Amino acid sequence: MEAPGQGASFGIPGMPAPPRSAAIQEVARLREAVIAEVRKAIVGLDEAQELMLIGLLAGGHVLLEGVPGTAKTLLCRSLAKSLRATFRRVQFTADLMPSDIIGTNVFMMQSGTFVLSRGPIFTDFLLADEINRAPAKTQSALLEAMQEHVVSIDGREHALAPCFTVFATQNPIESEGTYPLPEAQLDRFIVKVVLPYPSPEEEDGILTRIHQGFDPNDLTLAGLREVADLDAIMRARKALAEVHVDPQVMSYVRKVVAATRASASIRVGAGPRASVHLLMASKARAALDGSAFVTPDHVRSLVLPVLRHRILLDPEVELDGGTPEEVLQEIVGRVEVPR
């Protein structure tokens, strides 16, 4: 059997695969190096790590949902450490103001001028912890930054870091003191990663590490090294242009997203940005796999993380206990796959 990207077919008759470039091979090596390093701090959660890398390579932002203690913060810190990225964490609360995130101009008595006091948003990776605890006014401060990679302070635009990425967390079981995220903001997260409880074997591994002296607050002591830098991420983003997408696979992406708008189980379907994000996430997953082309399997594997937070179910479906994941799986099973 031929390796992906080296003469294998697209899974579509008569369509040979393009050769795998050196840039795509570098992306695959980057994936292996980063995940191997993050595993020094994280037990399990391999798919979560992969999805975070997909979001980073596709130039999007990542929403992490899980109960307390499922390593959401540690995942982000470990990824930043392995990539030599600056990292800032903001604890979202009901009294958090937009200026607490983006900063403000401060008048300096000595010079008689205003000086910009930069907020924590001026970083490579921003962890917006418990993002749904802040009111909409504060959450909206992130909208411009997440879409345009700039922030406006007193009428002036300030550019953010080239690899600026928001990793936002929320607790699915606690509703007191929380605010629903605006649909416009949810739509800017390329993937929503749901972090499960660890398996018994994984939880045993966590306890063993803690018993042996692992300190999640000291990643250097845990042995985490900087195995890449953000220049490597920028090169990886450029390499996505070399990932081929067959017209039939492109059409498949569109049909899956369009099916959410026609489903009787869904009150509001996914918009055009969802199609773009599903395409770019699929290209990122292909590159991380070392493949020079996107397959329908790449697309199918990303339907849930890319679309689960963009659809609103019909109220009757919700009352019957239906979930976005179940509805999306039904759609994936119904849309014809290119052969």
Task: Calculate helix-pair angle for 296-307, 324-334, nearest 10 degrees.
Answer: 150
pLDDT at 82: 92
* Size of the chain, expressed as the number of residues it contains: 339
Cβ atoms of 86 and 213 closer than 8 Å: no
pLDDT at 334: 92
What pLDDT shows up at residue 1?
31
Q: What is the pLDDT along the chain (339 residues), one digit of tens a residue?
A: 333 443 334 444 444 554 568 889 999 999 999 999 999 888 889 899 999 999 999 999 999 998 888 888 999 999 999 999 999 999 988 888 888 888 887 877 777 777 778 889 999 999 999 888 887 778 777 888 888 888 888 878 889 999 999 999 988 766 665 677 778 788 889 999 999 888 999 999 999 989 988 888 888 888 888 998 889 999 999 999 999 999 999 999 999 999 999 999 999 889 999 999 999 999 999 999 999 999 999 999 999 999 999 998 998 988 888 899 999 999 999 999 987
Instruction: Give the Cα separation of 178 and 262 in Å (integer).
Output: 31
For residue 277, what are the contacts with CB-CB under 8 A and spacing of at least 6? 58, 60, 190, 191, 306
The single residue listed with the structure tokens 């999805």 is 51
Token code pair at residue 271: 């918009």
CA 153 to chain centre: 27
Amino acid identity of residue 140, one-letter, is: S
The amino acid present at 333, given as its one-letter code, is: G
pLDDT of residue 19: 54
Cα–Cα distances (Å) from 301 to 25, 27, 114, in that order, read 21, 19, 50
How far apart CA 320 and CA 304 sit, in angstroms, is 20
Longest CA pairwise span in the chain (Å): 74
Identify the DSSP state of 132.
Answer: G
Distance CA 217, CA 153 (A): 33
- Dihedrals phi, psi of 61, to nearest 5 degrees: -125, 160
Please tell me whether residue 210 adopts helix, strand or coil conformation. Answer: helix
Identify the residue whose tokens are 């002296």. Answer: 213
Distances in Å between the alpha carbon of 106 and those of 109, 153, 179? 10, 11, 30
- Residue ranges of domains in the chain, CATH in brackets: 243-339 (1.10.8.80)
List alpha helices for 166-322, DSSP H: 183-186, 200-211, 230-239, 247-262, 272-288, 296-307, 315-319
Amino acid in position 138: T
**The dihedral of CA 220, 225, 231, 233: what is its sign?**
negative
Q: Is 37 exposed, middle or buried (0-12, 13-18, 19+ CB in 10 A)?
A: buried
Q: According to the model, what pLDDT value does residue 217 have? A: 82
DSSP β-ladder status, 87-91 and 266-268: unpaired
What's the rounded Cα separation, in Å, for the pair 156 and 104?
11
Q: Which of 125, 32, 43 is nearest to 76 (CA)?
A: 125
